[in-house]
Amino acid sequence: MATPADDFIGRALDVVESIPPGSVMTYGDVAAAIGSRAARAIGQIMSHYGSDVPWWRVVRASGHPAIHHEQRALEHYRAEATPLRWSRDGVFRVDLAAARYTP
């Protein structure tokens, strides 16, 4: 039976949902997890369907959260004790070395 998760979108959302609290994955890792390299497509999907998944656990390869959503993501990181690296300008990024989730 073809469940919604069989679609590219469903799989992407399923991977994001599988990320445990306090951990994060990069867009590229999510794309690779479903057998694709469409990191950008993940972002597009998140912008439309991310409302139903912990999108804040998905960050760029540099550790920066979804652009224009940094403040919102920060609230979740602090609530989940996600390891962060702060810059002198008040800019933060996720410490992938400690928070990157590898299934």
DSSP per-residue string spanning the chain: ---GGGSHHHHHHHHHHTSPTT-BEEHHHHHHHTT---HHHHHHHHHHHGGGTTGGGEE-TTS--STT-HHHHHHHHHHHT--EEE-TTS-EEE-HHHHB---
Binding of DNA at residue 17 (CB under 7 A)? no
Binding of DNA at residue 71 (CB under 7 A)? no
Binding of DNA at residue 3 (CB under 7 A)? no
Contacting residue, 7, 17, 21, 81, with DNA by CB under 7 A: 7
- Distance of closest approach, residue 16 Cβ to DNA, in angstroms: 10
Binding of DNA at residue 46 (CB under 7 A)? yes
Contacting residue, 2, 48, 97, 103, with DNA by CB under 7 A: 48
Binding of DNA at residue 83 (CB under 7 A)? no
Binding of DNA at residue 82 (CB under 7 A)? no
Could you give the CA distance from residue 72 to residue 68 in angstroms, rounded to a whole number?
Answer: 9
Beta bridge partners of 84: 94
Q: Specify the residue, 79 or 91, whose C-beta has the smaller distance to DNA.
A: 91
